[in-house]
Every structure is written in structure tokens, then in C-alpha cells.
Amino acid sequence: MTTLTLWGRLTSCNVQKAVWLLEELALPYERIDAGGDFGGLDDAAYLAMNPNGKVPTLKDGELVVWDSEAILRYLAARYGAPQFWSGDPAERAAVDQWMAWTATALYRDWIDLFWRLVRTPPQRRDADLIEGLRRRTAERFAFLDGQLASRPYLAGDVFSLADIAAGMTLYRWYEMPIERPALPHLAAWYARLRDRPAYRTAVCVPFDDLVGKLTF
């Protein structure tokens, strides 16, 4: 098997998802810092691989895949069956619905909160806007807490891509200096994820160098 190459800085939440799955699968890979202070996303060579000019980008032999969700599905289908890529369409749909919900609901409020609270310089922060985003994000996590009351992982009894997509948000949620509601099932899920070495490697990454930075 060829060594995979992943472009993207580890402080990117989308890169973290890809690294998490690579680590779970114990695949040999090289990660090249790109984006943010590392730059390189507007280089011709990079744009030839990823015309979107963002991270992450994955190269597997001659194949190039960009977009974090596409990368997750590619790695799961090629290297992660059956755990991460079931042959049963119903089981895959159970995972896909949570990945879609994360992208369209949870992620939007969560990343807006992170940008407004962490990435925005203190003198430019809007307290009312931040509080509204905090409440909406807390509501998203409360919804997850209710779902996790009856099962250990989002899509059922087995760890899946759904947990990678949504679980990536938890480290920053619990590390941001905000008020959080008591959500015992969410906290227990977070503890299970933190028990995984791949999660700690990929996601539990301090974000001090992002504080007050709106430049990328």
C-alpha cells in the first residue's frame, strides 16, 4: 500500500477529522502543514490538486480527494470496511444522517461561536451575538445528549464515522471559556472518545495560536 499524504494544519477542525480516521485505521501517512500561518493554499501546485484552495487534501497514489467529508468516506470505503463502511445500506444511512446533521446544524453554530469568541480579538467581540450562539450550540448538544441516552455512540452500539464528524467538536466545546449546561450523556460520550488514542492525537490540540486571529 502506498503511503498516504494529507495536507493541512492540525489546528484545522476539518483536518482533525481526517487525521482521526487515519489514526483509527493505523494507516501510514504523511501530513504536510498547509493553511493558516503555513500558507501554500494559493500555490499553483496545491490548487491543481484542490481547486477549492482549502484544507484538507488527501493523496493516495495518483488519486486526490478534497473536502473532509469526502475524505472520511473514501478512507472508510477503501480501508475501513466493515466497521467504518458497512455493506448494509441501512447501516450506512444511519451514519450518513448524523454526518449530514452535524454539517448542517451542529457545525454551523459551533464554528460561528468559536470564531466570535476565540478567533475574534477581544475589542471586537459582540457579547450578545456570542451569547446567542452559545445558547444555540448548547441546544444542539442537548439534542445529542438525548440521543445518546439510549446508546453509547451516535449511530448505535458501534463507533462510526458519525462519531468522528460530530465528536470532533467536543474538545473545543469543553475547552472554550463559556457556560455549559450539564449534559451527562454527552459528557460520557466525550469521555469514551477521549479514551481513544487516535482522538487525543488528532483532536485534543490546543488552539492558543488561534486566539484573536481573523486572518485565516
Q: Pick one of 3.20.20.10, 3.30.505.10, 1.20.1050.10, 1.10.3720.10 as the CATH number of 89-200.
A: 1.20.1050.10
Nine-digit cell string for 77: 470505503
Q: Residue holding cell 449530514?
A: 100
Per-residue pLDDT tens over the stretch 101-144? 999 999 999 999 999 999 999 999 999 999 999 999 999 999 99
Residue 37 class from Cβ within 10 Å (0-12 exposed, 13-18 middle, 19+ buried)? exposed
CB contact at 8 A, 123 and 159: no
Torsion of CA 45, 36, 198, 179, to 10 degrees: -150
> 214 with 120: CB under 8 angstroms?
yes
CA 66/CA 6 separation, integer angstroms: 10
- The closest alpha carbon to 178, from 111, 144, 133, 119, belongs to 133
Give the residues across from 97 on adjacent strands: none
The ranges of the chain annotated as CATH 1.20.1050.10 are 89-200
Measured distance CA(120)–CA(34) in Å, rounded:
22
Q: Are 110 and 169 in contact (CB under 8 A)?
A: yes
Q: 3-class secondary structure for 52-82?
A: CCCCCEEEECCEEEECHHHHHHHHHHHHCCC
One CATH from 3.40.50.720, 3.40.30.10, 3.30.300.180, 3.40.50.2300 for 4-79: 3.40.30.10
- pLDDT tens for each residue of the chain, 216 residues long: 678 999 999 999 999 999 999 999 999 999 999 999 999 999 999 999 999 999 999 999 999 999 999 999 999 999 999 999 999 999 999 999 999 999 999 999 999 999 999 999 999 999 999 999 999 999 999 999 999 999 999 999 999 999 999 999 999 999 999 999 999 999 999 999 999 999 999 999 999 999 999 887
Amino acid identity, position 84: F
Q: Where in the chain is the domain with CATH 3.40.30.10?
A: 4-79
